[in-house]
Amino acid sequence: MYHRSSRSLEKAPRRRQQDDSWSQVFRPPANESMEERTERMYRQQEAQRISREIDESIQESRKVLERKKKAIKVLLLGQSESGKSTMLKNFQLAFSPNHFSNERRIWKAVVQLNLIGSVKKLLAVLDLELNDTSRLSRPPSSRSGPMSPSSTPLTDNHRRIRLRLLPLLSMESNLTRQLLPEHYDPERSPEIRVRAGSGWKVTLERAVSVGSPPMDHAVNMRRPITSDGRNKDDPTTVLAACRDDIIALWQDSVVRGVLKKRGVRLESTPGFFLNDAARIADSGYEPTEADIVRARLRTFGVEEHRFLMENGSEWYIYDVGGSRNMRPQWIPYFDDVQAIIFLVPLAFNQVLEEDNKVNRLEDSIYLWKEVCANPLLARANVILFLNKMDILEETLAAGVRVETFVPSYGDSPNDVYHVTRYFREKFRAYHKRLSPKPRAFFCHETSAIDTKATQAVLLVVREGILRHHLEKLNVI
């Protein structure tokens, strides 16, 4: 004979009480009319539907959680502007080659904004030159006295080109306000910053939409249209109109001389496309994969990207913000992570944007020491990417000496091979000394904008991470 356990008998009255309480909610009242019965039945069915949806959502969340537990999780770490977002795009191109096919139009707008941003920086330097020359040429005895002849090499032709390029700046400001209407302050944040996630892509696509009407049709009707049907506020239209002036200004030897005199190297700034202005400022421009990888759009927050590899393994790669105020958000992602790709730009002669008293390389070394010593990461592979090797080569070729910024380097040869070896060994020593338990040291030299070479490195890294993961699971 079947007997209920005493615990089941104890729970039975409680379940009956709960069922009774639930049934009381939908119990038909006395003298219920047909309309009241219909309404009550509708509410009962709706409550059951919502309950089923909640149960299904909980079940789906559990499945996702279980799947994530079995997945390989990789963190991209490094200071701001170390190349994390660029490396993530290389991951997407290497392991999800069709990822950008539906987003090419959005990245086209980002590349165009990058080009406009470089023009903006160029014009700012010229403005500074003109203003300083104007101020120095005034007689010291009177601010309102006649102007003395200017000693600037810039001519009236440079001033006319500058005026013709000003519409680019107003267009950039308008697009930026649409991307960040609640945060945008051009004085405090001259570079476009967007919140992690895909919301900015929808906003940007709508902002630069030409072929399809925007959400507000009345606003669309007021937008000026060119003879070929293009929106005059479209970046493609405006850039095509300014194309010759951009090229002429960038290639002008006088302008290059002013930049050199003021110590400005636009070529080393993220999102630099002035050398490609003839191609990008063309009305028929379409971005290449290399353009998308080089495109610069600063994000704040944490980006999660899921990859399903051809062998069936599931990967999650997290790109976390590298600025100082974002670093406390790294800790929650340290739990159960298989590998960390730590990016270090060998920018020994640069300082942090948020603190110009801190050398960028010193800050990277500090972060590296913290990551290596963290007990939560004791079982994770920490893979070092000495990044932006192309910029290191240009810096050393320009005659900048490492010893000036890193006295411990001494009089060692000032070439790429010896400089790279010095810093690689420095990071290796900290890794060996600070790791909670012995683990292998992995280091790769990369230039994230070199897509083919970087993707080849990522294939090697992927196989190493996968092998380490399988060894932990005792599969091999």
Which residues are annotated binding-site positions for Mg(2+)? 299
* Residue for token pair 């219920």: 32
Residue closest to 296 by CA, chosen among 446, 112, 165: 112
Please state the three-class secondary structure of the chain as a single string. Answer: CCCCCHHHHHHHHHHHHHHHHHHHHCCCCCCCCHHHHHHHHHHHHHHHHHHHHHHHHHHHHHHHHHHHHHCEEEEEECCCCCCHHHHHHHHHHHHCCCCCCCCHHHHHHHHHHHHHHHHHHHHHHHHHHHHHHHHHCCCCCCCCCCCCCCCCCCCHHHHHHHHHHHHHHHHHHHHHHHHCCCCCCCCCCCCCEEECCCHHHHHHHHHCCCCCCCCCHHHHHHCCECCCCCECCCHHHHHHHHHHHHHHHHHCHHHHHHHHHCCCCHHHCCCCCHHHHHHHCCCCCCCCHHHHHHCCCEEECEEEEEEECCCCCEEEEEEECCCHHHHHHHHHHCCCCCEEEEEEECCCCCECCCCCCCEHHHHHHHHHHHHHHCHHHCCCEEEEEEECHHHHHHHHHCCCCHHHHCHHHCCCCCCHHHHHHHHHHHHHHHHHHHCCCCCCCEEEECCCCCHHHHHHHHHHHHHHHHHHHHHHCCCC
* Residue for token pair 């992690």: 196
Which tokens hold the place of 84? 């994390």
Question: Dihedrals φ, ψ of 417, to 5°?
Answer: -60, -50
* Residue for token pair 């971005």: 287
Q: Are 266 and 122 in contact (CB under 8 A)?
A: yes
Whole-angstrom Cα Rg for the chain: 30
Per the annotation, binding residues are: 299, 387-390, 448
Per the annotation, binding residues for GTP are: 387-390, 448
Residue closest to 334 by CA, chosen among 292, 384, 370: 370
Cα–Cα distance, 39 to 33 (Å, whole number): 10
Which tokens hold the place of 13? 């009255």
